[in-house]
Amino acid sequence: MGRRVWITGASAGIGRAVAERLARDGDTVHVSARREDELDALATTVPGRLIPAPLDVTDHDAVQATVARIEERDGPLDLVILNAGTHQPVEAKDFSAADLRKLVELNVMGTASCLEAVMPRMIDRRAGHIAVVASVAGYRGLPTSAYYGATKAALINMVESLRFDLDEAGVRIQIINPGFVETPLTDKNDFAMPFIISTEKAADYIARGLNGSSFEIVFPKRFAAIMKNARLMPYRLYFPAIHKMTGK
C-alpha cells in the first residue's frame, strides 16, 4: 500500500521529477505549486496517482486550508516534501534588500508556513515524515548566490534544530541538499556547474534517500564531498578553490 504524499514546488524541476517517481512507485502524491495548468499536465503522466492542489506557499492561510483538505480527502499524510523555492543570481553591484526579502518570503517563510501546518498533526499522532529541500549552496558562499545561499543556509539550520524535538515526538525529518541539477533555476547561472545532473537522476537519489536512514540526502556524491570539505577550508584556500572551480 502506497504512502500519502504532499510535495510543494511540484510544477517543474526536482519537485516534478520526484512527484512522478513516487507516483510510479505506487504512492498517492498531492502536488502543489502556483501554476495550476502545469499541475494538471503533471497529473496526466500517472493518472489517479498525482492529485493537483494549487497553492502559493507564501499565503499562510491557504497553506493551512490545503493541508486540511488533503487530509480530509485521503487521510493523514505519511510524507511531506517541502520543495517550493526559487533562485535569483545577484552580483554585488545589483544587491537589493527588497529582492532578498522576496526569496526569504518564498524559500524560508513559505517552507515555515508548511511546517507549521503539518508538524502539529504529525506530532499529535506521533507519526509522519518530512523532508525539506535546501542545497549545498547553503554550506558556504558561492558566486552570485548571496540571496539563494542565505535562504538555504537558513533552512539547513532550521531543520537541524527541529530534529531534536521531532525525534522525541516520533516524527522523522530530513534535509535534502542537492548540488547542481538541470532545472529552469540553474539555467539562470552564468558559471561552470561541476557534476551537474538531470532531474531524473536527482529524483533517484531522493527516492532512495527517503527510504534510507540518513538525516541528510545529499548528491551528487563527488560534488557533495567537495562542498563538505570546503566547509572546513580556511578562507585563504576556499576563495581561490571556488574561483578555480566556477571561473568566477
Residues noted as catalytic: 148
In 3D space, the residue among 4, 9, 43, 45 whose CA is nearest the CA of residue 26 turns out to be 4
Strand 216-219 to strand 172-178: parallel, antiparallel, or no bridges (unpaired)?
parallel
Task: For the chain, list the strands marked E by DSSP.
Answer: 4-8, 28-32, 50-52, 79-82, 129-133, 172-178, 216-219
Cα–Cα distance between 57 and 34 in angstroms, integer?
A: 8
**34 and 27 Cβ atoms separated by less than 8 Å:** no
Cα–Cα distance between 116 and 155 in angstroms, integer?
A: 14
Burial class (CB in 10 A: 0-12, 13-18, 19+), 122: buried
Q: What residue type is assigned to position 243 of the chain?
A: H
Burial class (CB in 10 A: 0-12, 13-18, 19+), 224: buried
* Rounded alpha-carbon distances, angstroms, from residue 231 to 24, 109, 139, 235: 37, 26, 7, 10
Phi, psi of 113 (to 5 degrees): -60, -40
